[in-house]
């Protein structure tokens, strides 16, 4: 679950957490990716304020931190939903109809890939190959994997989480 930063200000406890993560890696510049993994694991995403705090802490230009965050698809600057939906669009899933699943999720939730529903419950993203090609097409909701998904199953999957 994403931690929301109020009025672009990080609370003291959040700054302390960032410091703690940076210290785990000795503020080493070559450990930036690991630091970002740690911070995203805690905050759920990497908003500008978090990047600024990291830059300050490890004494690196914030532009460099931003450059790394935006380079790697694993890092996100927008909070994901409580139940992040990832549709695998690797080749094996694509040829078994993953694009139709993306369409169906978008239609059911009324959001595009990369967006989060207004209530913060769902977000849709696509990912490249989870390596479960035997189950193609594959959809992940949080840590749970669904295999052999058809457009008709999309509603059923969403229903599981809507009541949670």
Partner 1 sequence: MSKINQHILTCGGTGCRASESKELAQNLRDEIASNPAIEGSVKVVECGCFGFCEKGPIVKMLPDNTFYTQVKPTNAKEIIEEHIVKGRKIENLLYTDPVTKEVIDESKNMGFYKKQHRIALRNCGFVDPENIGEYIAREGYEALGRAIFEQEPQVIIDTIKASGLRGRGGGGFPTGLKWEFTKNAKGDQKYVVCNADEGDPGAFMDRSILEGDPHSIIEAMAICAYAIGANEGLVYIRAEYPLAIDRLKIAIKQAEETGLLGDNILGSDFSFKITIKYGAGAFVCGEETALIQSMEGLRGEPNLKPPFPAESGYFQKPTNVNNVETLANIPVILNKGADWYASMGTEKSKGTKVFALAGKINNVGLIEVPMGTTLREVIFDIGGGIKDGKKFKAVQTGGPSGGCLTEEHLDTPIDFDNLLAIGSMMGSGGMVVLDEDDCMVSMAQFYLEFTVEESCGKCAPCRIGNKRLHETLEKITQGKGVMEDLHQLRNMSEVIKETSLCGLGQTSPNPVLSTLDNFWDEYVEHVEDKKCVAGQCKSMLRYVITEEDCVGCTACVRVCPTNAITGTKKKPHIINQDLCIKCGACMDKCSFDSILLIA
Write out the residues near partner 1 by the rule CB under 8 A: 28-34, 36-37, 67-68, 71-75, 89-92, 94-96, 100, 103, 107, 127-136, 138, 145-147, 151-152
Of 7 and 152, CB closest to partner 1: 152
Cα 149 from chain centroid? 21
Residue where the block lists tokens 């759920």:
44
Closest separation in Å from C-beta 51 to partner 1:
14
Of 9 and 150, CB closest to partner 1: 150
Helix (H, G, I), strand (E, B) or coil at 103: helix
Report the distance separating Cα 137 and Cα 22, nearest Å.
Answer: 38
Report the distance separating Cα 164 and Cα 153, nearest Å.
Answer: 18
Closest separation in Å from C-beta 29 to partner 1:
6
Of 9 and 91, CB closest to partner 1: 91
Closest separation in Å from C-beta 38 to partner 1:
10
Closest residue by Cα to residue 159 from 91, 100, 83, 86: 83
Of 29 and 162, CB closest to partner 1: 29
Closest separation in Å from C-beta 121 to partner 1:
22
C-alpha distance from residue 41 to each of 5, 16, 48, 76 (Å): 15, 15, 16, 11
């Amino acid at each position: 679950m994403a931690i929301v930063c109020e009025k672009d200000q990080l609370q003291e406890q959040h700054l302390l957490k960032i410091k703690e993560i940076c210290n785990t890696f000795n503020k080493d510049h070559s450990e930036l990716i690991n630091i970002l993994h740690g911070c995203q694991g805690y905050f759920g995403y990497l908003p500008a304020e978090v990047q600024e705090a990291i830059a300050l802490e490890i004494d690196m230009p914030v532009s460099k931190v931003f450059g790394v965050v935006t380079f790697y698809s694993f890092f996100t600057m927008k909070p994901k939903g409580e139940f992040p939906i990832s549709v695998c669009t690797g080749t094996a899933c694509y040829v078994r109809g993953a694009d139709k699943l993306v369409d169906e999720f978008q239609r059911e939730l009324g959001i595009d890939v990369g967006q989060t529903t207004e209530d913060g419950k769902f977000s849709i993203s696509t990912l490249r190959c989870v390596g479960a090609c035997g189950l193609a097409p594959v959809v992940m909701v949080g840590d749970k994997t669904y295999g052999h998904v058809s457009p008709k199953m999309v509603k059923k999957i969403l229903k599981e989480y809507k009541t949670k």
